[in-house]
Amino acid sequence: MPHPALVVLRELELRDAALAAAFDEVVRLEQGAEEVGARAAVVDAFLLAAPAEHDRLAAALAVADVAVGEAERARNAADKAARDAEARQAREAAALRLEAGLAADRLRSARDASARARAALESHGAEVEAAALEAPLLERQAARLARELGRVVGLSKSAAGRPAAGLPGVVEWRSRARAGLLVVRGTLSRDRDALLREATETAAVVAPGVVAGPTVASIGAQLEAALG
């Protein structure tokens, strides 16, 4: 027959294992809620700013396109002036050719700026589409985590409540879930500490050399070794 103290420690070990599993589950849910809520905040802020950013990029593209048109007209005028002057004084023609070359450089720069502006506008549009597609995924992920939270023993009713519709609802839910899970995690930690103290005191009565350990199982192992 095992020593009575070992029987008690084994019962405490089972309770400790259950508390440890519950603690790990709470930590997992905390991390999940934090990740989903944080990403929801980022996507929500991006989508809120998207219309203004689209207008800014569209305006930049319009300005760039106007510059392209002006540069093209200037280049064409310079080319025509150079051709007209070719029959005249060579020095004047050379100067006009130089101006035509500079105008061509300005046209290339303007076209490059227009291309960059167009690319930025298209890229922003693609990002908006991606964020709009991600938003409902985040909402569903938060709803799934909320259902799991509902099974956590000791979690407050507020923290266990589902998020409201929309990304702002997910962000608000993250705060509630985080606060509630923090309380549960603290309770589990205190319960485990109490079990460890009880296990240590039980073992120390039989074997005074037993010291506190990280788990009830470690304390039981010390007691078994002491009982030989």
Q: What is the pLDDT, as a whole number, of residue 165?
A: 92
In the numeric block, the tokens 């080319």 are attached to: 79
User: Which 3 state secondary structure label does DSSP give 16?
Assistant: helix
Mean pLDDT by 10 residues, the chain (228 residues): 82 89 91 91 91 91 87 83 69 74 86 90 93 94 93 90 93 93 93 90 86 85 83
CA neighbor of 67 nearest in space, from 126, 112, 33, 24: 112
For 141-151, give one letter per residue: b (16+ CB within 10 A) or e. bbbebbeebee
Q: pTM of the prediction?
A: 0.68
Q: Which domains does the chain have, with CATH numbers?
A: 4-227 (1.10.287)
Contact 78, 99 (CB under 8 A): yes
Q: What is the pLDDT, as a whole number, of residue 50?
A: 92
Q: What is the pLDDT, as a whole number, of residue 144?
A: 93
Q: What is the pLDDT, as a whole number, of residue 145?
A: 93
CA neighbor of 105 nearest in space, from 131, 77, 71: 71
Q: What is the pLDDT, as a whole number, of residue 209?
A: 81
